[in-house]
Amino acid sequence: MAQFKAEALFSIPGRTAIITGGGSGLGRICAKTFLTNGASVTIIDMEAPRLSSVKTELSQLKKDLALPGQIHTIHGDLSSKPALETVTSQLLALHKTTGIDILVHCAGIRRQNKISYAPGDPLSKLAAATASLPYEDLEASFRINLFAQYYLTAGLVEVLGAAAKRGGGRGCVICFSSVASKHNGQFVPAYQMSKAAVDHLVRIMAAEFAGFYIRVNAISPGIFPSSLNPADPTHPESNMSFAQEMPARRAGSEEEMAGTALYLVSPAGGYMTGDNMHVDGGRLLVAAAKISKL
C-alpha cells in the first residue's frame, strides 16, 4: 500500500520544471514547492533583481533541506516573438540532456483602465472610464498573458511529449489563469479578456495534444498576495480589500497554492487534463456586477 503514501503520490524526484514569472508571487511559490519535492527548477523572469532574490532563497532552501534538485535562472522577456524564440532556444540547450517534465506559465500583467466608474456615477463618467484603457495596454496584456503561454508551449511540445511517454504525470503544462476570467465583479477588461482566452487555450491545447497525453491544465487563483496584487489593501492595484467579502474571509496562503500546483504536476494528478482548478476561497460564488439603487 506504499503507493498511497503522500510521498509516493506527490513526490517528483529527478524531474525538471520550467516556471515563467518565477521571480515573484505564484511563480516563486511553485519554484519552492517543486524544488522541495525533488525537482530541478529553471526560473524565467524579466526582472534581474527578482531572479537574484529567488535564486538566493532557493539555494538556501536546497542547502537547509539537502535537496537534490538543480537551480537555473534565465533573464528573459516574453513579450515578443523574437524574445520568446530566444528563451525557447536557451531552454532547449540547457535541458538537452535532462529533458523537460513540467512547464508552468506564471508570467502575467494586469493593466487597469485609467479612470474608474462606480454605480451611480453619471453616464459621462462611464464613457470616460470605458475609453480610458490604452490600446497598448490591451495589446500588451494579450502578448504576455496569452501569446507567451501559447508560443513557449509550442516551442517545447517535442520535449514535453518525450517526457509524457515516461508516465507518472510527466509532460505537463500549467497555465495560470484567474477567476477574473469568469466573474463580472470588477472592470479590468484587459486582464479579464486575456485570462478568459487562456481558459479556452487550455482546452484547445489539451485536446490537440491528447494523442501524446501531454497534459494541459489551468489554475485560476482568487486573491493571493503577489506582484500583481500587493498585500497592502490600500494600494491602487491591490484586490486585498475584497478578501473579507469572500466565504474564506481572507487571502490564500502559499501552502494552499503549493498543494494545487504539486497535485497537477505529480503522479497524483496524472489523470487530469483540460481542466481549470479554481483556488479562490469562494470568490466566484459571490463576485458579481452591481448597479445603483433607484
Beta-sheet pairing, 102-105 with 71-75: unpaired
Q: Is 120 left (phi over 0), alpha (psi -120 to 50) or beta?
A: left
Task: State the average pLDDT over residues 133-156.
Answer: 98
Residue 230 has pLDDT above 70, yes or no: no
- Average pLDDT score over the chain: 93
Averaged pLDDT, 30-38? 98
Residues 257-271: tens digit of each pLDDT: 999 999 999 999 999
Locate 173 and state its grid cell.
503544462
Closest CA to 111 of 140, 79, 89, 85: 140
Q: What is the pLDDT of residue 20?
A: 98
Q: Residues of 109-141 as b/e, b for ≥16 C-beta within 10 angstroms?
A: bbbbbeeebeeeeeeeeeebbeeebeeebbebb
Residue 235 is predicted with a pLDDT of 66
CA distances from 201 to 2, 135, 146, 183 (A): 37, 23, 8, 18
At 290 the pLDDT is: 78
For residue 287, the model assigns a pLDDT of: 86
Q: Which residues pair with 74 in a beta bridge?
A: 44
Residue 241, pLDDT above cutoff 90: no
On the question of pLDDT at 232 being above 90, the answer is no
Confidence class for position 291, pLDDT limits 50, 70, 90:
confident
Q: pLDDT grade, residue 288 (50/70/90)?
A: confident
What is the pLDDT, as a whole number, of residue 294? 58
Of 250 and 204, the structure prediction assigns the larger pLDDT to 204
Cα–Cα distance between 107 and 155 in angstroms, integer? 17
Q: Is the pLDDT of residue 94 over 80?
A: yes
- Average pLDDT on 1-25 reads 92
Mean pLDDT of 247-262: 94
Task: Count Cα atoms within 13 angstroms, Cβ side, for 59.
Answer: 8
Confidence of residue 229 (pLDDT cuts 50, 70, 90): low
pLDDT in tens, 160-199: 999 999 999 999 999 999 999 999 888 999 999 999 999 9
The percentage of the chain sitting over the pLDDT mark of 90, rounded to a whole number, equals 82
CATH class of segment(s) 2-286? alpha beta
Torsion of CA 127, 232, 241, 286, to 10 degrees: 100
* pLDDT computed for residue 3 by the predictor: 86
The CA distance from 224 to 252, in Å, is 5
Determine the pLDDT at residue 228.
Answer: 64
- Whether pLDDT at 233 is above 90: no
Report in angstroms the alpha-carbon separations of 144 from 106, 165, 184, 201, 272: 10, 30, 22, 14, 25
Handedness of CA 77, 80, 82, 88 (dihedral sign): positive
Closest alpha carbon to 9 in 43, 41, 35, 38: 38
More confident residue, 233 or 144: 144
46-76: pLDDT as tens digits? 999 999 999 999 999 999 999 999 999 999 9
